Amino acid sequence: MNINTKNFVSITEANQNFSRVARLVDENGAVIILKNNVPRYLIVEFEQAEQEQLAADEDVLSISKRLIAKNKQSSR
């Protein structure tokens, strides 16, 4: 994921102007909220979060298939 420093928002600003944060997410896909000048929270579109979860599930599935195939060969 590419990070644009224009997408950094302080937690105070996010609290006072959440509609601006939501607009930044709509325009750029993600916003990082800083707490004490340290990245603390990441806000992404729900669809992007779902896609990330699907990718993680697919990785687990492919790893499990590979391990099952490896163990089948070892047990023969």
pTM of the model as a whole: 0.62
Neighbours of 1 (CB within 10 A): 8
For residue 30, the surrounding DSSP H or E stretch is: strand 30-35
Beta-ladder partners of 9: 33
pLDDT at 23: 94
Residues 23 and 59 in one domain: no
Q: Is pLDDT of 76 > 60?
A: no
The 8-class DSSP code of residue 37 comes to T
Q: Which range marks the domain in which residue 69 is found?
A: 46-76
- The whole-angstrom distance between residue 2's C-alpha and the CA centroid of its chain comes to 11
Residues 50 and 38 in one domain: no
Residues 35 and 70 in one domain: no
| Total tally of structural domains belonging to the chain | 2
Confidence tier at 61 by pLDDT (50, 70, 90): confident
Structure token pair of residue 45: 């579109």
Residues 27 and 61 in one domain: no
